[in-house]
Amino acid sequence: MLCRGVNEVAALVEAYRHYSKYATQAIKAANLPKMGKGGKIPDMPINPRHMQQTLQRMGNALPPQLIKQMGGMGGLQQLMKSMESMGK
């Protein structure tokens, strides 16, 4: 039983490494603002045109399989909106 747990942890670590690389690329491509003090993104108005450009850059940076798993560009947009509302 212990061996099975070790294998699962190793698989999770490998998956984290794999997706963290893509997440870093997507954040750089989207040119998102840096975290401020307290780990919060500074309040700044986001206009729809800028949001669309950001989504396009993130879509180009992420692998197509990952975007498909997220529900396409609409799913990516919902994720960004939910992250924006979490910071408020």
**Is 58 within a domain?**
yes
Q: For 55-68, how does the pLDDT look when each residue is reduced to its tens digit (9 = 90+)? A: 888 788 888 888 88
Closest CA to 88 of 47, 33, 40, 50: 40
Mean pLDDT, the chain, rounded, equals 73
pLDDT on residue 8: 79
Domain assignment of residue 15, yes or no:
yes
User: Picking from 9-13, 31-35, 63-67, which range would have the lowest pLDDT averaged per residue?
Assistant: 31-35
Residue 81 has pLDDT above 60, yes or no: yes
Question: Is residue 6 assigned to a domain?
Answer: yes
Residue range of the domain that includes 65: 2-31+48-86
How much is the pLDDT for 56?
A: 83
AA identity, residue 6: V
How many Cβ atoms are within 10 Å of 76's Cβ, its own excluded? 19
Q: pTM higher than 0.75, yes or no?
A: no
Task: Count the domains in the chain.
Answer: 1
- Greater model confidence, 30 or 13: 13
